Amino acid sequence: MSLEPWTTKYRPRTSKDVAGNKPAIEKLRDWIDSWSKGRPTKAAVLLYGPAGVGKTSVTEALARERGWDLVEINASDKRSGDILAKVAGLASTQSTLFSKGRLILLDEVDGINLRADQGAVATILQIIKETQYPLILTANDPWDPKTRPLREACLQIELKRLGVRDGLPLLRNILNQEGVKANEDALRLILDRDRGDIRSILNDIQLLSSRRRSLTIEDIDLLSGRDRTESIFEVLRIIFNSRTTASARRALSISDVDQEMLFQWIFENAPYQIPKPKELEEAMSALAESDLYFGRIKKTQSWHLLSYALDLMTAGVAIAKQTSLSGWVPMRFPQKISSMSRTRSIRDIRKKAAASIGVRSHVSVRRAQQLYFPLLRFIYEHNLDEYERIAVSLDAKEELDDLLSNEMRPPN
Amino acid sequence: MEAALWTEKYRPKTLDQIVDQEEIVSRLKEFVTRGSMPHSLFAGPPGTGKTTAALCLAHDLFGERFQDVFMELNASDERGIDVVRTTVKEFARMASLSQVPFKILVLDEADNMTNDAQAALRRTMEKYTETCRFILCCNYSGRIIEPIQSRCALFRFTPLPESKIVEHLHNIAKQEGLKITESGLKSVVEVAEGDLRKGINTLQAAASMSKGITEEAVYQVVGRAKPTDVHEMLTHAMKGDFIKAREELRQLLVKYGLSGSEIVRQIHSEIFRLPVPEKKRISLIEAVGEIDYRLVQGGDEEIQLSALLAKLASDA
């Protein structure tokens, strides 16, 4: 089973791969290319449009196809003026080694919280004024009053919802690669239902096709729209509200979700659904036991153990919960699934960098991480020139850059 | 290219340049005089010069081009029995082409080898003694199986005394043009705890901020570079905030790249610092031990450790 989200797997590699919005992307590309002739009048672009149309993807693709560094700060970061000034300010004025290009992305600026991210807007304006590199801001809602000053300082480019004309070939292509059959009406329906939100569509059809290799209009009708998510919510609701082992186990039979995926959903939501610490302890302990069985199954391929894993993760959790919630608590998307592919690639990069350091400093890969990553991280934060000199001499600059610049924002 | 990491830049090249572990060095110098050496076991804590001594010995025996007849394998990266049977054997069995009578194979972190691999190694060591001498480096000689220990000359490396660390750091500071205050130096030495590599890394990190090195700078390095979040994670769990504690656990795993067993180890040592009744400590040790075992059994780090955090949170 591959848990790599299609949304990550099929991220556009170049800006030409981005579906739809050709004129807007063209405009964005022209603006970036105009930097080669010096700093344009508008040093920043506000890229706006609804969720899932590819704002971040297109920016990443533009940086990648130019071989530039992408410095990204997104909504999950704390964005007080100080931090912004430090991260983005540094990136916008300090030059890169070998004068490599750089693109700065301030993602989801409409997510700025005026109180928690004090001074952020003023700092961003300052950065726009001073930046030596193209700066891209993204937002869902460009008319949000708190970002108005930003809007005025930026060239505004809109990305529109994806229609059937651009959406259909994109979905068709991905499904072909995944070996999933789908008829055209089904795809039209899902595009229409999810209103061109490619991210949510890909999540939908990935879940649907984890069990079926062909999608019909009935599948979509039955499960898509928001039905697909309702179905997993339904399973979770049953598990977290069952009083008997039988009823909790039955939840599995109505579920189409992959079992390990369901495990992640339960693990993510247990602390929110089971507020009593004593009960949560029992539930987590059941999940840990279940996890052990999954581990043993993988190790020994003893699939008959699966039923114990499943009983523990459904009935084990259900019986642990004795006290009902007083109000409605929404279900959360499992972090593990959304960050899995990212984590895996970080691990690979980390290992590669550590191997390179290990050979040069006579220690193992494991020890290289323990001994030298903290040192390099510290130097990276305090003395970029010195850091670059060391990273180059270790022949691990590319990997280290990637690791350290990513560590500036929390993963996920 | 000149090494940019100071631990490499200032690593001694010859036995003469090693200014500590005097007794060991003098024994190694005898090997050089005789032009021969037995299989050797270098045991001692990290940062006390085991690898350096091996490199210097090879250099003094074989000259500048010693790399041709010298191989360094890291047992914890390549610890399987297959490696012993292939890489190690290949290297050991081929007679050296140059003038030297034997080659040297250094197995770093040898105490991380499985017992099977060690047993396989034992035969290889015996069979190819003529062509190859082994230097096994380890933190604990007790983890090396008896038959290997008995075939090796044992060298015990001890943590460096403060005076030696001061001497080293002074020397580096001078060559790097640093200004280091008395208290700054003292704090680096304290941080090092007899581990010279740790001392040098701390110094280099502090120097990246400013050439003037003060006590504050050193503490900034220590505070920032070393994740202290295990303590924080436990504190949150014990206050009953499981969700926050799990969030911190995820950070440790993903951001700092700590392995589950490293976190378990840190939790283990934290147990004795937590404000809990003595009886509780014992039950925590039991719980942590169980998780350590489960990780070996293939349990998922995040899930198993989360179960521990939930246990802590429920006692809050």
Inter-chain residue contact B311 with A285, CB threshold 8 Å: yes
Digit-coded pLDDT (tens) for A101-133 = 888 888 877 766 655 566 777 888 888 888 888
For residue B284, is pLDDT > 80? yes
Of B46, B198, B300, the CB nearest to A291: B300
Residues on chain B touching A381 (C-beta within 8 angstroms): 224
B179 has pLDDT over 90 = yes
Pairwise CA distance, residues B11 & B55, whole Å: 10
A250 and A120 assigned to the same domain: no
CB contact under 8 A, B201 and A375: yes
The tens digit of pLDDT for each residue in A338-379 reads 555 555 567 778 888 888 998 888 888 878 887 888 888 888
Q: Which residues of B touch A379 (CB under 8 A)?
A: 204-205, 208
- Identify the domain boundary among A333, A358, A392: A333
CB contact under 8 A, A360 and B302: no
Residues 238-267 of B with CB under 8 A from A: 240, 242-243, 246, 250-251, 254-255, 257, 259, 262
User: Does residue A198 sit within a domain?
Assistant: yes
Fold match between domain B162-225 and domain B229-314: no
Which residue in the set B204, B262, B303 is minimally distant from A291, CB to CB?
B303
CA distances from B192 to B63, B151, B218 (A): 32, 33, 11
**pLDDT at A283 (0 to 100):** 96
In a 13 Å sphere around the CA of B220, the CA atoms on its Cβ side amount to 18
pTM, full prediction: 0.50
CATH topology of domain B6-156: Rossmann fold (3.40.50)
Considering the domain architecture, whether residues A91 and A110 belong to the same structural domain is answered as: yes
The answer as to whether A325 is a domain residue is yes
**8-state DSSP, A143:** T
Residue A109 lies in a domain: yes
CATH number at residue A202: 1.10.8.60
- For residues A388-404, one letter each, b for 16 or more C-beta atoms within 10 angstroms of the residue's C-beta and e for the rest, the string is bbbbebbebbebbbbbb
Residue A95 banded pLDDT, cuts 50, 70, 90:
low
DSSP code per residue over B202-216? HHHHHHHH-SEE-HH
Hey, which residues 163-222 in chain B have their CB within 8 Å of chain A? 197-198, 201, 204-205, 208-209, 221
Considering the domain architecture, whether residues A263 and A318 belong to the same structural domain is answered as yes
CB B103 within 8 A of CB B133: yes
Q: Closest Cα to residue A261, out of A292, A235, A296?
A: A235
Q: Which residues from chain A sit within 8 angstroms of residue B46, using beta carbons?
A: 367
Return the CATH class of domain B162-225: mainly alpha
What are the structural domain ranges in chain B?
A: 6-156, 162-225, 229-314
**A73 is a domain residue:** yes
Return the number of CB contacts < 8 Å for A and B. 148
Domain that holds residue A80: 6-158
pLDDT at B242: 95
Contacts of B8 in chain A (CB under 8 A): 360-361
- A412 domain residue, yes or no: no
> Which of B22, B5, B100, B119 shows the shortest CA–CA distance to B62?
B100
Domain count, chain A: 4
Does the beta-carbon distance from B310 to A291 stay under 8 Å? no
Taking contacts as CB-CB distances below 8 angstroms, the residues of chain A near B259 are 366
Burial of B166 (0-12, 13-18, 19+ CB in 10 A): middle
Residue B25: per-residue pLDDT: 94
Is residue A99 a part of any domain in this protein? yes
Average pLDDT rounded to a whole number, residues B159-168: 92
pLDDT for A113? 63
**A285 domain-assigned:** yes
Q: Judge if A286 and A361 occupy the same domain.
A: no
Task: Find the mean pLDDT for residues A206-229.
Answer: 61
* A256 and A272 belong to one structural domain: yes
**Do A290 and A369 share a domain, yes or no?**
no
CA distance B97 to chain A (A): 24
Phi first, then psi: give them for residue A214, nearest 5 degrees.
Answer: -140, 140
Which two structure tokens, joined as six digits, stand for A305? 């153990």
**What is the CB neighbour count within 10 angstroms for residue A22?**
12
Nearest to B304 among A272, A281, A291 (CB): A291
Q: Does the beta carbon of B9 lie under 8 angstroms from any beta carbon of chain A? A: no
Q: Is residue A1 assigned to a domain?
A: no
Q: What is the pLDDT of residues A257-270, one digit of tens each?
A: 678 888 999 999 99
Residues A221 and A237 placed together within one structural domain of the fold: no
Smallest Cβ–Cβ distance between A362 and the set B72, B208, B226 belongs to B72
Give yes or no: residues A221 and A233 share one domain: no
CA distance A333 to A261: 11
CB-based contact A364 B7, cutoff 8 Å: no
Nearest-CA neighbor of B122 among B100, B98, B92, B99?
B92
Instruction: Please identify, in words, the CATH class of the domain defined by B229-314.
Output: mainly alpha
- Establish if B76 touches chain A: CB-CB under 8 angstroms: yes
Say yes or no for a CB contact (<8 Å) between B240 and A277. Answer: yes
**Are residues A180 and A149 both part of a single domain?**
no
- Residue B256 above 80 pLDDT? no
A15 and A112 within one domain: yes
pLDDT of residue A3: 59
pLDDT in tens, B103-120: 899 998 888 887 888 888
Which of A289, A307, A333 lies at the terminal end of a domain, its last residue? A333
Please state, in angstroms and as integers, the Cα–Cα distance from residue A236 to each residue in A242, A252, A331, B17, B278, following that order. 10, 10, 8, 67, 40
Residue B188 — pLDDT band, cuts 50, 70, 90?
very high
Is B2 within 8 Å of chain A by CB?
Answer: yes
A214 CA to chain B: closest CA distance, Å? 33
Mean confidence (pLDDT) of chain A: 80
Please give the average per-residue pLDDT across B243-260, as a whole number: 83
Full DSSP string of B59-86: HHHH-GGGGGGEEEEETTTS-SHHHIII
Of A298, A343, A364, the CB nearest to B254: A343
Residues A46 and A149 in one domain: yes
